[in-house]
């Protein structure tokens, strides 16, 4: 066996730290970018950050040129609420109404085990027996909305009938014995089992519809969360203007106290030189991110102009590839640049990805966006005969024949579920 030394030349793509940094920054939201810059300040001694004295100063970035604009946001929006919360209010009311310490402890236990809709969720009950829990639930009806503390939908509805509508015997019987048939709208089966007419079934069903399945939906102590958009689009003087919302990002400066170490030839100088390279790469990456996002937004304003004026229903078919071709970039770059970004528009704030929708072909060779199809789907179902609702297949056939849109039954089913529209069986009304 002979050992031979050979030299071979190959081409390969190596992802450097700086390239990886640029890619990561591209997909950061403005808030994530703020956090990243703060981290870099801790790691790189050459980076010196200067926080802006006013986070609400005016900022307008039009085609790469920055000009700051004032915000109308009021300081009162940031004052924390002193609301003590509904659970605490319920317990305070329980202590006021019931002087018995055991009842107070029972009610405190039940109140602390209520879920966000006011239902009682007990996994393992070791403190109180079933009879005591039943007693506590009925005590709860005196201090909260009727139905609070129920352990199921059936119990919630029955509590409301017991305390507010005791005369509705038929509704109570229907809920107790045939709630599953009611949920599936088996009107004829209900009429046969209860030996009543369809007219009585409809009257009873209409009454049950007036009951509240979530009588305590505001029990959770929700805190207000503010969303800071990454891009702002405004309608001014008949034109759409846009800019990045970077008013709260700190200014990045070079720490001059290390400048005299750059020209030395020792280990310290080598370290400082590397950090200086990282500093320049950070500035370049942030600038490249800004330019890329502005280019994409400029195309979106041109392609989706009707959306910014009329709203979501006017969104046209648009893909990442089409935008990438328009700005002469790769599709993956556009994908990263639009990731985790919120755009504030005259029609509200939305995820910028909402402006990209796939298209469906029509018979005449044109295309229609998913948003328009969903809008048509809602209108068709709204106008249908509720006694004989349209199946997904019939809706698909209607699109194919009447609208010239080629669409399958499974796609109709998918869009219907995304719109939270029940199936035809669950939309069926009583036919008298």
The confidence score (pLDDT) of residue 226 equals 66
165 class by beta-carbon count within 10 Å (0-12 exposed, 13-18 middle, 19+ buried): middle
Q: Which of 365, 380, 387, 386 is nearest to 416 (CA)?
A: 380
DSSP label of 332: H
Whole-angstrom distance, CA of residue 323 vs CA of residue 250: 30
Which token pair is 275? Answer: 């950090």
Which token pair is 136? Answer: 């506590």
Whole-angstrom distance, CA of residue 62 vs CA of residue 68: 11
Whole-angstrom distance, CA of residue 304 vs CA of residue 300: 5
Instruction: Give the whole-number percent of the chain exceeding pLDDT 70.
Output: 87
Angle at 192 between CA 190 and CA 193, to 5 degrees: 65
The confidence score (pLDDT) of residue 16 equals 62
Whole-angstrom distance, CA of residue 68 vs CA of residue 264: 41
What is the reported pTM?
0.65
Whole-angstrom distance, CA of residue 147 vs CA of residue 137: 9
Instruction: Give the whole-number percent of the chain exceeding pLDDT 90.
Output: 40
199 class by beta-carbon count within 10 Å (0-12 exposed, 13-18 middle, 19+ buried): exposed
| Tens digits of residue pLDDT in 311-333 | 877 888 888 999 999 999 999 99
Q: Which of 164, 124, 144 is nearest to 214 (CA)?
A: 144
Neighbours of 253 (CB within 10 A): 12
Q: Which residues of the chain have pLDDT under 70?
A: 1, 11-19, 54-84, 124-126, 217-226
Q: Which of 153, 93, 97 is nearest to 120 (CA)?
A: 153
Which token pair is 326? Answer: 């328009």
393 class by beta-carbon count within 10 Å (0-12 exposed, 13-18 middle, 19+ buried): middle
| Tens digits of residue pLDDT in 106-149 | 888 888 888 888 888 887 666 788 889 999 999 999 888 899 98
The confidence score (pLDDT) of residue 71 equals 35
């Amino acid at each position: 066996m002979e050992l031979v030394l050979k030299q071979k030349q190959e081409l390969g793509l190596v992802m450097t730290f700086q390239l990886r940094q640029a890619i990561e920054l591209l997909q950061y939201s403005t808030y994530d970018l703020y956090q990243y810059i703060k981290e870099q300040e801790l790691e790189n001694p050459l980076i010196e950050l200067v926080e802006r004295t006013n986070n609400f100063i005016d900022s307008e970035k039009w085609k790469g040129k920055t000009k700051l604009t004032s915000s109308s946001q009021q300081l009162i929006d940031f004052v924390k609420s002193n609301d003590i919360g509904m659970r605490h209010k319920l317990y305070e009311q329980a202590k006021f109404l019931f002087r018995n310490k055991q009842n107070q402890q029972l009610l405190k236990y039940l109140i602390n085990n209520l879920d966000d809709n006011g239902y009682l969720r007990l996994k393992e009950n070791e403190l109180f027996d079933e009879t005591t829990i039943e007693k506590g639930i009925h005590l709860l009806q005196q201090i909260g909305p009727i139905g609070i503390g129920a352990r199921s939908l059936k119990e919630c509805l029955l509590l409301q009938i017991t305390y507010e509508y005791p005369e509705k015997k038929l509704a109570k019987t229907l809920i107790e014995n045939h709630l599953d048939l009611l949920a599936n709208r088996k009107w004829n089966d209900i009429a046969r089992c209860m030996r009543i007419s369809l007219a009585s079934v409809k009257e009873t069903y209409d009454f049950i519809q007036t009951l509240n399945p979530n009588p305590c939906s505001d029990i959770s102590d929700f805190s207000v969360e503010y969303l800071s958009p990454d891009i702002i689009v405004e309608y001014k003087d008949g034109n759409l203007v846009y800019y990045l919302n970077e008013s709260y990002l700190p200014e990045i400066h070079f720490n001059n106290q290390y400048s005299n170490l750059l020209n030395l030839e020792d280990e310290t100088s080598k370290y400082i030189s590397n950090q200086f390279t990282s500093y320049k790469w950070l500035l370049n990456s942030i600038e490249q991110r800004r330019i890329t996002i502005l280019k994409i937004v400029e195309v979106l304003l041109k392609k989706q102009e009707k959306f910014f004026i009329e709203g979501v229903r006017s969104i046209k078919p648009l893909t990442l590839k089409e935008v990438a071709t328009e700005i002469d970039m790769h599709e993956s770059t556009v994908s990263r640049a639009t990731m985790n970004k919120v755009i504030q528009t005259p029609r509200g704030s939305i995820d910028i990805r909402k402006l990209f929708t796939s298209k469906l072909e029509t018979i005449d060779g044109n295309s229609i966006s998913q948003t328009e199809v969903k809008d048509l789907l809602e209108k068709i179902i709204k106008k249908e005969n509720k006694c004989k609702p349209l199946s997904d297949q019939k809706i698909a056939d209607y699109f194919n024949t009447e609208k010239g849109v080629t669409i399958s039954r499974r796609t109709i089913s998918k869009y219907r579920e995304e719109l939270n529209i029940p199936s035809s069986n669950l939309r069926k009304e009583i036919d008298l």
